[in-house]
Chain A
């Protein structure tokens, strides 16, 4: 599995296309929000939290598609299947790769958007990364699974959002709620946290188990 991760990282390092386009896209989405909403409307942590997650989701989908598009060229995916690497491991490796890329982007975009929106950061500094991590993991789990499906289907660009977004709703609701609470330093309902955790666990495990069905021809 380490080999897989190393390979993906090396590929990215070579071309730098994924990170750079992700980053630029995320930034652009933030800008769109800035212009779509006037500064007075951008009150408070709820909007900021919403923005953060919307950006992550849309930029994330781009990242997911790229991750599998690379494998489609020259039939590399078949090469992977040919090898003794088991599909579950393949899934986890791809998922972790996606998580890493997304986190890298988030690390820069989050503080940046906070400053753009001038939202005072009064919350816990420790909780925010944790929430972002949990949300990203859940997103990547389902995302990796469906990106693998979408990339091998005809209408791939449009199919991924169509399949992924409805299923992400619980994750989004929970993530935004906790994030906005964290940003404003309020108390938040522990249940949300459990929802996030449950989401992550259920879908990472399911993805790991079911990926062999997806890659089989």
Chain B
């Protein structure tokens, strides 16, 4: 009996009464790394934010670590990194991290802050206001923030975008480390090579549905490109019913 870290069943979300996510069901086990692909507006970010408990589903059920998303215990186990850094620009990284550390009631705060800043290579920049940082550096501090409380489930929304070369290297290290620690990672990306290289399983979202999910083995990057093009032809006049249903593999 595998313990499911994420159990989503018939999850839907509407914004302004327009469905953005329709009837999505998926399960993720402990220690898996999942890559989510799909065009913009397909619902990837919405799905991720739902898993991060930043959004409430319009219908359907979600269980995280066996609990409902409202359970405060779940928050300690979640780490999220999105397009916004969630950092206060007028404060320094250390101040930002101290604040979040206190919000998560973390012990040995200064020790943790140091180690996490070292991980992202910004230990010398701890006392400078985030406002002065470049985007790449800010994202690195954001990564530090996401990892500060050593979450069990990491949710990254297009983590590769906005990162400079140093940041990319840091992210790769961080992700491989996390995988090695047996933690669960779910991320969205547009980069086929990087995504497929890192994940155990992959999904493609399109227009609110899961239009493809991997079974057992992963395709090569070339196969995947072709597959992706096929599955997400939103301008196609000939719609294949199977490509719109959530149960296609």
Query: Which residues of A approach B to under 8 Å, CB–CB?
Result: 2-4, 6-7, 10-11, 14-15, 70, 73-76, 78-86, 216-217
Cα distance, A81 to B99, chains bound together (Å) = 14
Which of chain A's residues have a CB closer than 8 A to the CB of B82?
A: 75, 78
Query: Measured between C-beta atoms, what is the minimum distance from A11 to chain B in Å?
Result: 6
**Contact B86–A82 (Cβ < 8 Å):** yes
The reply to whether A74 and B88 form a contact with Cβ atoms under 8 Å apart is yes
B33 within 8 A of partner (CB):
no
Q: A82-B80, A85-B103 are in contact. Are A216 and B88 (CB under 8 A)?
A: no
Which residues from chain B contact A78 at a C-beta distance below 8 Å? 54, 82, 84, 86
Does A217 contact B85, Cβ atoms closer than 8 Å? no
Q: Does B95 contact A (CB under 8 A)?
A: yes
B87 on the A face (CB < 8 A): yes
Looking at the assembled complex, report how far the CB atom of B225 sits from the nearest CB atom of chain A, in whole angstroms: 32
Q: In the assembled complex, how far is the CB of residue A81 from the closest CB belonging to chain B, in whole angstroms?
A: 6
Known: A75-B82, A78-B84. A15 touches B76 (CB 8 A): no
Contact of A82 with B56 in the complex, beta carbons under 8 Å: no
> In the complex, are the beta carbons of B86 and A10 less than 8 A apart?
no
Within 8 A of A (CB), among B72-125: 72, 75-76, 78, 80, 82-91, 95, 99-100, 102-105
CA distance A79 to B104 in the complex (A): 11
Q: Could you list 14 further interchain pairs (A-B, Cβ under 8 angstroms) beyond the known A6-B102, A11-B91, A216-B56?
A: A3-B99, A7-B88, A7-B91, A10-B91, A14-B90, A15-B90, A75-B85, A76-B88, A78-B82, A81-B53, A81-B54, A82-B54, A82-B78, A84-B76
Given A7-B99, A217-B54, A217-B55, also A84-B72 (CB < 8 A): yes
With A82-B78, A217-B55 known to touch, is A74 a contact of B89 (CB < 8 Å)?
yes
User: Is B52 engaged at the interface, CB distance under 8 Å to the other chain?
Assistant: yes
Nearest-CB distance from B143 to chain A (Å)?
13
Residues of A within 8 A of B52 (CB): 82
Q: How far is the CA of A75 from the CA of B129 in the complex (A)?
A: 17
Chain A residues whose C-beta falls within 8 Å of the C-beta of B102 in the assembled complex: 2-3, 6
In the assembled complex, the Cα of A10 lies from the Cα of B103 at a distance in Å of 15
Residue of A nearest to B15 (CB): A217
- The docked-state distance in angstroms from the alpha carbon of A79 to that of B83 is 12
In angstroms, Cα B85 to Cα A81, docked, is: 14
Count A-B pairs with CB separation below 8 Å.
Answer: 71
User: Shortest distance in angstroms between B105's beta carbon and chain A's nearest beta carbon?
Assistant: 7
Classify the secondary structure of B's interface with A: loop
In the complex with contacts A3-B99, A10-B91, A217-B55, A79-B76 CB distance below 8 A = no
Q: How far is the CB of B92 from chain A (nearest CB, A)?
A: 10
CB of A10 within 8 A of CB of B95, answer: yes
Given the known A-B contacts A10-B91, A216-B56, A217-B54, are A84 and B86 also in contact in the complex, defined by CB atoms under 8 Å?
A: no
State how many angstroms separate the Cβ of B144 from the closest Cβ of chain A.
Answer: 13
Contact residue among B75, B78, B85, B99 (Cβ-Cβ distance under 8 Å from A74): B85
* Contact A3-B103, Cβ < 8 Å, known A74-B84, A84-B72: yes
Pairwise interchain contact B99-A73, C-beta atoms closer than 8 A: no
Residues from chain B with a CB closer than 8 A to the CB of A3 are 99, 102-103
Contacts of A6 in B (CB 8 A): 99, 102
**Minimal Cβ-Cβ distance residue in B for A81:** B54
The closest CB in chain A to the CB of B52 belongs to A82
In contact, A217 and B56 (Cβ under 8 angstroms): yes
Whether the Cβ atoms of A75 and B86 lie closer than 8 Å is: yes
Q: List 29 A-B contacts (CB under 8 A).
A: A3-B99, A6-B99, A10-B91, A10-B95, A11-B90, A14-B90, A14-B91, A70-B88, A73-B88, A74-B84, A74-B89, A75-B82, A75-B83, A75-B85, A76-B86, A76-B87, A76-B88, A78-B84, A79-B86, A79-B87, A80-B103, A81-B54, A82-B75, A82-B80, A83-B100, A83-B103, A84-B76, A84-B103, A84-B104
Closest B residue to A217 by beta carbon equals B55
A78's nearest neighbour on chain B, judged by CB, is B54
Instruction: A3 to B100: give the CA distance in the assembly, Å.
Output: 9
Residues of A within 8 A of B129 (CB): 14
> A192 CA to B55 CA in the complex, in Å?
43
Give chain B nearest CB distance to A37 CB in angstroms. 40
CA distance A2 to B105 in the complex (A): 12
